[in-house]
């Protein structure tokens, strides 16, 4: 986990790529209420970690994510956005497993 976050942080700092990933303020504010009420794998990692149930799911599949020192660099991204920078640590299979666990919370 730390290897992919370090790579993500280095890439983001070197290229400034995180700046292009932000949405307009009005779009983010409107989406924030909906996402917090019903988190999904498409929610920002920060929102998933702010909810105790989804934080436990993320920790189960990506141990150490909540306390990682580079968290400020990736917490506004979704899991899918982090995946290309993760050096194989975040895979579609892991995202699918997290998605299944989050959906099971709704049952």
Per-residue pLDDT tens over the stretch 14-72: 545 444 445 555 555 544 444 456 899 999 999 999 999 999 999 999 999 999 888 99
Q: What is the pLDDT of residues 74-106, one digit of tens each?
A: 999 999 999 999 889 999 999 999 999 999 998
Q: What is the pLDDT of residue 38?
A: 85
User: Domain coordinates of the chain in residue numbers?
Assistant: 2-12+39-105
Whether 91 and 62 have beta carbons less than 8 Å apart is answered as: no
pLDDT confidence of 107, banded at 50, 70, 90? confident
> Quick check: helix, strand or coil at residue 70?
coil
> Quick check: helix, strand or coil at residue 69?
coil
How far is 61 from 57, CA to CA, in rounded Å? 6
Q: What is the pLDDT of residue 6?
A: 59
CA angle 29, 8, 97 (to 5 degrees): 70
Residue 29 tokens read as 């504010």
């Amino acid at each position: 986990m730390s290897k992919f976050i370090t790579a993500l942080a280095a890439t983001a700092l070197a290229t400034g790529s995180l700046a292009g990933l932000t949405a307009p303020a009005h779009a983010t504010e409107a989406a924030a209420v909906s996402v917090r009420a019903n988190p999904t794998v498409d929610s920002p990692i920060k929102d998933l970690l702010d909810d105790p149930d989804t934080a436990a799911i993320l920790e189960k599949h990506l141990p150490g994510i909540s306390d990682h020192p580079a968290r400020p660099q990736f917490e506004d991204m979704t899991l899918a956005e982090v995946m290309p920078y993760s050096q194989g640590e975040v895979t579609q299979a892991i995202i699918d497993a997290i998605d299944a666990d989050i959906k099971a919370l709704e049952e």
